[in-house]
Amino acid sequence: MRFAPVSLAVLLLCAVPAAAQTPLPLEADPLSARDARRLDRMEDVLRELRAIVFQGRNTGQPVVVQPADAEYQLQDALRRISDLEMSLSRVNSQLETTTRGLDQARRDAEALRAQNQALTERLALFEQRTAEPAAVAPTVAGAPAEDEGAAFDAARQLMVGGDYDAAEAAFAAFVQTYPDGAKTPEANYWWGKTLDIRNANAQAATAFISAIRGWPKTSWAPDATVELARQLIAMGKSPDACATLDELGRRYPKASAQVKSRAANARVRAKCA
């Protein structure tokens, strides 16, 4: 029962004679000094218990006496629980932050992979959207037509000589005459160069796309990639231009310093990340 400590105290109070509360003269006290101190402490405890009992009797409320040590242990346990809760809260917060970071990194990686995989398809679709119906270019007067090599050399000589209009027509004729020829990708590259001179950006972009389709391992392919990016920037297609320049680094890591410098300038113009 809860009142057992108090009842015991009452019995103790009743059992101790009043005379025992008055210290005996030192010359008549048979106890040793240590026993005398122990008796003094017992009397202090009895007086405290008596005060508690009388206080409970006066107020009519139950009196519960709990050891001070139990109260301290309870408070210490509560403090430990509070510390554990705070530690768990910090760990949960750190886990949430890490999880969000991993999710974002995973999304970024998936987006980059999808972008790389789709670049060739995007270029093909762009060629479809921007291609302008072109009439069959006339054969350049005086240009040899007996074989592919001679036709290509004739068109190239026109460009080297600065006759860009005639060179444009000659390369257009070559591409249409030899659509599957071995020199056709390079002819598209030079054709794109002549179109760029007169700022025919959409046609030039189409020519450069045809030139680098399949990412040929040739000396002119890195420059054709940069030229395609330049046409896209001029057409307001900066995201496509940045994707093309990204492919330049992947497909042609050994491009010349001049090509890399032009690519860096194009990145600045397109505001690539």
Query: What CATH number should be reported for the domain holding residue 218?
Result: 1.25.40.10
108 lies in some domain? yes
Question: Which pLDDT score is estimated for 56?
Answer: 58
Same domain, 155 and 251: yes
* Residues 164, 192: Cα–Cα separation, whole Å: 11
Which structural domain, as residue segments, surrounds residue 38?
A: 4-59
Q: How buried is residue 115: exposed, middle or buried, by Cβ count under 10 Å (0-12/13-18/19+)?
A: middle
Q: Is residue 36 part of a domain?
A: yes
Instruction: Looking at the structure, tell me whether residues 49 and 95 fall in a common domain.
Output: no
Structural domain total, the chain: 3
Both tokens of 273, joined, read 């990340």
Whether 238 is covered by a domain: the verdict is yes
pLDDT in tens, the chain (273 residues): 344 444 444 444 444 444 444 454 544 455 567 777 777 777 777 777 777 666 656 666 665 555 545 666 777 778 888 888 888 888 888 888 888 877 787 777 676 666 555 566 666 555 555 554 443 344 443 444 458 899 999 999 999 999 999 999 999 999 999 999 999 999 999 999 999 999 999 999 999 999 999 999 999 999 999 999 999 999 999 999 999 999 999 999 999 999 999 999 999 999 998
Query: Which residue from 121, 107, 116, 126 is spatially nearest to 236, judged by alpha carbons?
Result: 126
Query: Both 217 and 156 in a single domain?
Result: yes
pTM of this structure: 0.50
236 falls within a domain = yes
CB atoms within 10 A of CB 180: 5
User: 211 with 241, same domain?
Assistant: yes
Quick one: 50 and 89 in the same domain? no
Say whether both 166 and 198 belong to one domain.
yes
Q: Is residue 134 part of a domain?
A: no
Torsion angle of C-alpha atoms 147, 152, 153, 156, degrees rounded to 10: 160
Do 55 and 105 belong to one domain? no
Give per-residue burial for 52-77: e unless 16+ CB within 10 Å, then b.
bbeebeeeeeebebeeeeeeeeeeee
265 in the same domain as 159? yes
Task: Give pLDDT, residue 243.
Answer: 94
Together in a domain, 20 and 82: no
Q: Is residue 16 part of a domain?
A: yes
Rounded CA separation 268/113 (Å):
24
Same domain? For 265 and 158 the reply is: yes
Q: Are residues 81 and 22 in the same domain?
A: no
Q: Same structural domain for residues 89 and 164?
A: no
The answer to whether residue 137 sits within a structural domain is no
Exposed e or buried b for every residue in 191-208, given b needs 16+ CB within 10 A?
Answer: bbbbbbeeebbbbbbbbb
Domain presence at residue 132: no
Kindly report the CA angle at 125 between 119 and 127, in degrees rounded to 5?
A: 105
Residue 14 CB partners (closer than 8 Å, separation 6+):
none
